[in-house]
């Protein structure tokens, strides 16, 4: 099959005059994590404020035996910047139609699953149900189909969300800055886009069809979101797709350069690992075991102490409870990654299998039990 | 006579302004009591957070609320948040935070001044968080600020009075209360600020990150009182260098 050039924009995709992609990819390609030693890691940990070279050392194999030291420093930075506050939220999947063929994702257009899109009334019912749990923050997600979940549809969902929640984030397909501006006016203020992998060659082999295939358009999504007026943006590589150390390094560099260019932008990291999906239970995070995942989380925290870090239900209860004690500042609860599941009438299948089914109350209590303070909202839309 | 300080006609005997963020809500009451605080800051964005775990429910009624505008990136946003605070019943006090750098959280003096001009005219008791700059402090005074709140060090850094010499200039030159805000990490640093003549000290992270929050609040209270008393008593002279010459240099005047 002749595949399209994944580095070439498609008509209608906004281009930004920037060399940030080049900088990130260059840094990633030159990142030789085998050259770092325990000395480099200890030196990095001794610095008050970390350089990108220090960050590289913290992600190297040499840092793994020093994970306890990293966790201690990470916890110190987390408490300094966030105190003991842990933000709670839940994702709401409103549609799972997708035009992309990403071979690892349960929503991919060739995977035989039940597809669905919530109507406005159904969105409202779902949100009412969620808001009764006390949550004040919601993350609206769709599959990546402009046809089945267009910008107006997502904007409507944001407007409904503003009736029930203080904080509205979106995790949908990348769009142009004017479209982000529209969603911002509709009440959304945070945009998360997973780059999946920053290795464009590997990216090309994983994203076979659809607009998602266009690597640079996805890369510049966060910048377009900030240009569209969004307050904050989230970054992530899907750990396990490619060389996780390089991907984590590139993710940090991406966030670092964006914050440097837009100092007012609020930065967040997610740390997803690959999970099994419907019709493929063999998918796993390969060499990214829990210690490696924790290493990545701690490295993000120490490198950018002010960034929010989300720990999702891709991880189990034990890991999540410990992650919020060390470095994560945001945790989901009462999660349902299917379509329509919150109000008891699921009509579309899940994106992936979750590992932590606890409801809002259970997570709330678990946070408190660790001497931490659950926070439903620390935000004002202005 | 009771030692008080005044903010736009409002009189306070406690010179310790306590922060309320970054620690468990059920410790707020104990922290206030041990701190002897009469005023507590809170981020309006936390106070607007819904019914569960709302910080407002944990602050005793007799405490003056000092809502801050954290989350504002410019003057317009700070003004909007201040007005919202008033609408929510948080009173007329407002601590202006206008910050457009998420990394260091340093105040933007220019935007802070613009917000002060607007809010002072609307009758707010405006307490601007600022970078200690004399010219800017004069501008804030002229714009109607009730005090100035210079940072000692970056927020949350616990590094103490890194800007000590510049804060001293404000204390010497500005006829408004100077309240040291941000960066105070230890009771001894709070004491030092008070010895210099600061009108009050605001602290949050130092207390929130202590192992025993109520006890640390008490330690700060005592340090602030000690520093204030030392200031009122008049510090003794400290000779930094050299000893007094046995042959007076001015002896010739009497020859």
- Residue A7 falls within a domain, yes or no? no
Residue A204, both tokens = 């090309």
Domain spans in chain B, listed from the N-terminal domain onward = 5-254
Q: Are B85 and B122 in contact (CB under 8 A)?
A: no
Tell me the three state secondary structure of residue B64: strand
Q: Which of the four pLDDT bands, split at 50, 70 and 90, describes residue B31?
A: confident
According to the model, what pLDDT value does residue B242 have? 62
Mean pLDDT, range B142-166, rounded to an integer: 93
Interface contact A378-B49, CB threshold 8 A? yes
- Residue A233 falls within a domain, yes or no? yes
Cβ-based neighbours of B150, under 8 Å, separated by 6 or more: B130, B131, B132, B137, B163, B166, B167, B170, B178, B180, B181
Q: What is the CATH number of the domain that holds A290?
A: 3.20.20.70
ipTM (interface pTM): 0.85
Mean pLDDT, range A94-98, rounded to an integer: 87
- Residue A244 falls within a domain, yes or no? yes
- Residue A27 falls within a domain, yes or no? no
Q: How far is B36 from chain A (nearest CA, A)?
A: 22
- Residue A21 falls within a domain, yes or no? no
- Residue A209 falls within a domain, yes or no? yes
- Residue A11 falls within a domain, yes or no? no
Interface test with A, best of B19, B24, B80, B209 (most A CBs within 10 A): B24
Q: How far is B246 from chain A (nearest CA, A)?
A: 48
- A327-336, B11-20, B243-252: segment of lowest average pLDDT: B243-252
In chain B, what is the greatest distance between 2 CA atoms, to the nearest angstrom? Answer: 83
User: Does B72 contact chain A (CB < 8 Å)?
Assistant: yes
Q: Which residues of chain A have a CB within 8 Å of the CB of B46? A: 375, 377-378
Strand ranges in B51-152 using DSSP code E only, listed in sequence order: 64-68, 93-96, 125-130, 149-150
Q: Considering chain B, what percentage of its residues have pLDDT values greater than 90?
A: 62
According to the model, what pLDDT value does residue A137 have? 96
Interface contact B71-A375, CB threshold 8 A? no
Of residues A103, A70, A104, A27, the one with CA closest to residue A272: A104
Residues 86-115 of B with CB under 8 A from A: 100-103, 105
CATH, domain B5-254, list 3.40.640.10, 3.20.20.70, 3.30.1490.20, 2.60.40.10: 3.20.20.70
Cβ-based neighbours of B65, under 8 Å, separated by 6 or more: B39, B40, B42, B59, B90, B91, B93
d(CA A153, CA A165): 18
d(CA A77, CA A67): 15
Domain residue limits at A312: 39-375
Cβ-based neighbours of B96, under 8 Å, separated by 6 or more: B68, B69, B72, B78, B82, B112, B115, B116, B119, B126, B127, B128, B129
Interface contact B103-A372, CB threshold 8 A? no
Instruction: Report the residue of chain A nearest B81, measured CA to CA.
Output: A382
What would the pLDDT profile of B89-134 be if each residue is shown by its tens digit? 889 999 999 999 999 999 999 999 999 999 999 999 999 999 999 9
**What is the pTM for the complete model shown?**
0.91
Instruction: Report the residue of chain A nearest B19, measured CA to CA.
Output: A83
Interface contact B81-A166, CB threshold 8 A? no
Q: Is the pLDDT of residue A350 over 90?
A: no
Q: How far is A62 from chain B (nearest CA, A)?
A: 28
| Cross-chain CB nearest to A264 (options B45, B48, B100) | B100
Q: Which residues of chain B have a CB within 8 Å of the CB of A306? A: 102-103, 105
Q: How far is A224 from chain B (nearest CA, A)?
A: 18
Which position among B95, B114, B186, B221 bears the catalytic label? B95
Q: Is the pLDDT of residue B19 over 90?
A: no
């Amino acid at each position: 099959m002749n595949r399209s050039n994944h580095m070439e924009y498609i008509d209608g995709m906004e281009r930004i005059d920037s060399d940030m992609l080049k900088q990130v990819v260059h840094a990633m390609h030159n990142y030789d994590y085998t050259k770092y030693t325990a000395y480099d890691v200890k030196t990095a940990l001794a610095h008050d404020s970390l350089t990108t070279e220090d960050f590289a050392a913290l992600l190297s194999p040499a840092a793994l035996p020093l994970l306890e030291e990293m966790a201690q420093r990470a916890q110190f930075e987390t408490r300094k910047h966030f105190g003991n506050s842990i933000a709670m939220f839940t994702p709401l999947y409103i549609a799972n139609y997708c035009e992309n063929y990403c071979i690892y994702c349960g929503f991919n257009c060739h995977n035989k699953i039940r597809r669905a899109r919530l109507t406005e009334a159904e969105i409202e019912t779902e949100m009412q149900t969620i808001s009764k749990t006390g949550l004040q923050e919601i993350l609206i997600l769709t599959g990546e189909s402009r046809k089945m979940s267009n910008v107006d549809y997502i904007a409507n969902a944001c407007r409904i969300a503003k009736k029930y929640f203080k904080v509205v984030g979106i995790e949908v397909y990348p769009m142009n800055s004017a479209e982000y501006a529209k969603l911002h006016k509709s009440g959304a203020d945070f945009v998360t886009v997973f780059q999946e992998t920053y290795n464009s060659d590997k990216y090309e082999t994983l994203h076979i069809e659809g607009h998602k295939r266009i690597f640079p358009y996805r890369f510049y999504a966060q910048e377009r979101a900030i240009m569209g007026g969004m307050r904050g943006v989230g970054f992530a590589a899907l750990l396990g797709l490619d060389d996780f150390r390089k991907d984590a390094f590139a993710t940090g560099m991406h966030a670092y350069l964006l914050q440097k260019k837009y100092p007012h932008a609020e930065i967040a990291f997610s740390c997803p690992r690959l999970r099994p999906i419907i019709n493929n239970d063999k998918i796993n995070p390969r060499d990214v075991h829990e210690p490696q995942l924790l290493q990545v989380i701690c490295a993000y925290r120490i490198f950018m102490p002010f960034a929010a870090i989300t720990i999702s239900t891709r991880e189990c209860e034990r890991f999540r409870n410990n992650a919020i004690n060390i470095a994560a500042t945001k945790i989901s609860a009462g999660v349902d990654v299917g379509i329509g599941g919150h109000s008891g009438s699921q009509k579309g299948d899940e994106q992936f299998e979750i590992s932590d089914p606890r409801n809002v109350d259970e997570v709330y209590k678990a946070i408190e039990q660790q001497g931490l303070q659950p926070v439903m909202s620390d935000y004002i839309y202005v | 006579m009771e030692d008080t300080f005044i903010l736009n006609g409002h009189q306070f005997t406690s010179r310790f302004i306590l922060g309320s963020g970054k620690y468990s809500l059920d410790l707020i009451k104990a922290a206030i009591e041990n701190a002897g605080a009469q005023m507590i800051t809170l981020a309006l964005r936390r106070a607007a957070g819904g019914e569960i775990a709302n910080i407002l429910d944990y602050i005793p009624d007799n405490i003056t609320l000092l809502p801050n505008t954290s989350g504002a990136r410019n003057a317009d946003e700070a003004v909007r948040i201040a007005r919202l605070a008033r609408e929510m019943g948080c009173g007329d006090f407002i601590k202006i935070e206008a910050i457009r750098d998420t990394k260091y959280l340093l105040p933007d003096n220019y935007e802070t001044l613009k917000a002060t001009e607007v809010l002072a005219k609307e009758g707010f008791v405006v307490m601007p968080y600022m970078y200690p700059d004399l010219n800017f402090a004069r501008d804030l005074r002229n714009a109607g600020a009730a005090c100035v709140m210079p940072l000692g060090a970056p927020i949350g850094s616990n590094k103490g009075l890194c800007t000590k010499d510049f804060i001293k200039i404000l204390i010497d030159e500005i006829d408004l209360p100077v309240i040291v805000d941000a960066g105070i990490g230890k009771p001894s640093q709070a004491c030092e600020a008070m010895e210099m003549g600061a009108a009050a000290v605001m602290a949050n992270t130092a207390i929130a990150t202590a192992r025993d929050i109520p006890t640390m609040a008490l330690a700060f209270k005592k340090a602030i009182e000690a520093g204030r008393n030392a200031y009122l008593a008049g510090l003794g002279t400290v000779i930094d260098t050299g000893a007094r010459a046995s042959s007076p240099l001015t002896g010739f005047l009497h020859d």
